[in-house]
Amino acid sequence: MESQNQRKGFVKGAFTRIILGIFIIFLTFILIQKFSVKILEITTLDKNYRNLIKGIVASSSVLLVYYYFHQWYEKRKITELSTNNFGKNLFLGIAIGFVLLCLTVLVIALFGVFMILSVNSWSTMIIPFTVALSVAIFEEILMRGIIFRISEEKLGSVIALAISSIVFALLHIANPNGTVLSGLCVLVAGFLFGLAYIYKRNLWLPIAIHFSWNFMQSGIFGAVTSGNEKN
Reported as a single tens digit per residue, the pLDDT across 173-192 is 877 777 788 889 899 999 99
Which pLDDT does position 223 carry in this prediction? 78
- Give the number of domains in the chain: 1
Choose between 230 and 92: higher pLDDT: 92
Range of the domain at 78: 2-220
Which of 134, 118, 2, 161 has the alpha carbon at shortest distance from 55?
Answer: 134
Q: How many CA atoms lie within 13 A of 116 on its CB side?
A: 6
In a domain, 225, yes or no: no
Each residue's pLDDT tens digit, 30-54: 999 999 988 988 888 888 889 999 9
Residue 226 lies in a domain: no
- pLDDT given for residue 109 in this prediction: 87
Which pLDDT score is estimated for 119? Answer: 77
229, part of any domain: no
Does 111 fall in a domain?
yes
pTM of this structure: 0.91
Q: What is the mean pLDDT of residues 196-223?
A: 94
Choose among 19, 18, 4, 8: nearest CA to 154: 18
Better pLDDT: 178 or 18? 18
Give yes or no for a contact between 101 and 212, defined as CB atoms under 8 angstroms apart: yes
Whether residue 156 lies inside any domain: the answer is yes
Q: Above 80 in pLDDT, residue 6?
A: no
Confidence of residue 231 (pLDDT cuts 50, 70, 90): very low
Is residue 227 a part of any domain in this protein? no
Alpha-carbon gap, residue 88 to 205, rounded angstroms: 9
Whether 231 maps to a domain, the answer reads: no
The whole-angstrom separation of Cα 86 and Cα 82 is 8
Q: What is the pLDDT of residue 180?
A: 83
Q: What's the chain's average pLDDT?
A: 89
pLDDT in the model for residue 28:
96
Q: Is residue 169 in a domain?
A: yes
93-143 confidence digits (pLDDT tens): 999 999 999 999 999 889 887 777 777 777 788 899 999 999 999 999 999
